[in-house]
Amino acid sequence: MSAPSPARVAALDRLARQAGRFPDLEFVDMGVAPTADGIALDARDVSLARAIEHTVAHRWMTLAAIARACIDRRWENVDSRVQAALLAAGAQLFLFGNVADHAVVDDTVEWSKGKGHRGAAGFVNAVLRKMIDLRGDFVEGADAAPRVWRDRRDLVPLADGRAMRLKRPVFSDDRVLRVAEAASVGEDLLLHWINSAGQDIAFSRAVHSLRPAPTVISGVPEQAVLPGAPFASNLTPHSDPGSFVWNGDHSSLIALLTAYPEARVQDSASAQPMRLADSLRPKLILDACAGRGTKTRQLAALHPTAEIVATDVDGARLRALALAFVDHPQVKVTTPEGLRRIVGQVDLLVLDVPCSNTGVLSRRPEAKYRFNRARLDSITAVQRDIVEEHRPFLTPNGSVLYSTCSLEPPENLAQAQWAAGRIGRRVARTEVREPRGMPGEPDSAYADGGFGALISPA
């Protein structure tokens, strides 16, 4: 048998490390890195490896339910490396549609040799043959509607709005767990949504998470979309004015962002909270959780006369932030320790705080599985610590712009109200965004979910 594809080896090696962590997955960018065998990946292999890894991340519970139906033991008792093999192969066999079955099976079995117990490769081979036999035909339209598959144990919903009919049921008899498996959303999160928002909204959020998130560009100048402009053919107007869906390749996107520095990769839901402060005229803005600077750049465009100080506690993000704003006329990047010089001087404090990420599950699929009440309590405590740490920077009449990419009330309005009381302000304006765009709908209809609040003097 020939050596397995380097792309599959790379994906399998990385997924094997993740399988033992579930539900605490931690995916990072694949990059052009060597595999465990020291074979460098070319661009095509990187693309395939990323696709395998990302698909497994998005549909982990769906794929595990399919594999579980084809084995004679508890899934939890299967070696994590063998789990990774079945998940990676299942992603290609059920969700790719453009790969040869024999190539997937042969490469996965070859990789499995020496992984787990002595008969791991034979076990993987037998299970994959059973999984292939499970596949039925595709259904679409009304037969694939979410209201249909949520009540069926043999329909696998797909990102394009279709569904695959299996030859026998694999999903749970319990309706909540069945939806959790079919949509690949953690049961704790789904139950939390049902209790906090109701069944219809909970189900809509789960369905939304099935579809991939497009690349959305904000801040694109008018001349960039004129007929004949270099990148105009790659920009499709989004349903939210001022945003565009990017349809080009990565190198062209970099060229666009270089040609138009005011443009930024930013979903419309992420951009909207910053506009809550558009009527203010701050002299000094502190962007205290600036990340890599997307919202910092937006703030500079919204407040062209303001000085902006940006920082982040994460060293890698802070270094990227500093590089992004070298010689910028408005933005000064500093370490958290360097903020001492502006205590009591900030007119607008921007806190885009760490959160549960439940409004951006299509972009952060690992957040679907790790959610639970203890983690929610922990992250709300972190958010309050951030408010406490930064409130001394405000002037007596300063305002706070608080935002998350979460759908959870304890992180959002309840937290904003707590912060307002803590710093002697009021919640003046809020922005609540439910995720939009379902499988099969155009990318221009897609939007993340999130929350923003402007906290101002009474």
pLDDT tens for 269-323 read 999 999 999 999 999 999 999 999 999 999 999 999 999 999 999 999 999 999 9
How would you class 168 by CB atoms within 10 Å of its CB: exposed for 0-12, middle for 13-18, buried for 19 or more? exposed
Q: Which fold has domain 268-456?
A: Rossmann fold (3.40.50)
pLDDT digits (tens, 9 = 90+) for 78-102: 999 999 999 999 999 999 988 999 9
Are 330 and 300 contacting, i.e. CB atoms less than 8 angstroms apart? yes
Q: What is the pLDDT of residue 34?
A: 47
CB atoms closer than 10 angstroms to residue 238:
22
Are 351 and 329 contacting, i.e. CB atoms less than 8 angstroms apart? no
Give the confidence band of 42 by pLDDT, cuts at 50, 70, 90.
Answer: confident
β-strands 346-352, 331-333 pairing: unpaired
Residue 438 has pLDDT above 50, yes or no: yes
Q: Which fold has domain 6-138?
A: N-utilizing Substance Protein B Homolog; Chain A (1.10.940)
The identity of residue 285, as a single letter, is I
pLDDT digits (tens, 9 = 90+) for 249-258: 999 999 999 9
* Mean pLDDT to the nearest integer, 191-207: 97
Which residues lie below 8 Å from residue 362, measured CB to CB, with a gap of 6+?
Answer: 58, 208, 209, 211, 212, 213, 435, 446, 448
CA pair distance 433, 448, nearest whole angstrom: 8
β-strands 346-352, 284-287 pairing: parallel
Give the confidence band of 394 by pLDDT, cuts at 50, 70, 90.
Answer: very high
The whole-chain average pLDDT of the chain stands at 94
* Percent of the chain's residues with pLDDT above 70: 97
Strand partners, 156: 164
Q: Where are the beta strands (DSSP E) in 239-303?
A: 243-246, 264-265, 284-287
Measured over the CA atoms of residue 366, residue 372, residue 374 and residue 377, the dihedral's sign is positive
CA pair distance 312, 416, nearest whole angstrom: 21
Q: Where are the domains of the chain?
A: 6-138, 214-266, 268-456
Q: In the structure encoding, which two tokens stand for residue 399, read together?
A: 């305002």
- Return the residue matching tokens 């155009």: 442
Q: What is the DSSP string of 105-135?
A: HHHHHHHHTTSSSTTHHHHHHHHHHHHHHHE
pLDDT digits (tens, 9 = 90+) for 9-31: 999 999 999 999 999 998 765 45
Residue 179 has pLDDT above 70, yes or no: yes
Instruction: Give the DSSP H or E segment for 451.
Output: strand 450-456
Q: Reply yes or no: is the peptide bond before residue 230 cis, omega within 30 of 0.
A: no
Are 318 and 311 contacting, i.e. CB atoms less than 8 angstroms apart? yes
Q: What is the pLDDT of residue 32?
A: 45
The identity of residue 310, as a single letter, is A
Residues present in the chain in total: 458
Relative orientation angle of helices 80-95 and 101-112, to the nearest 10 degrees: 170
CA pair distance 84, 124, nearest whole angstrom: 10
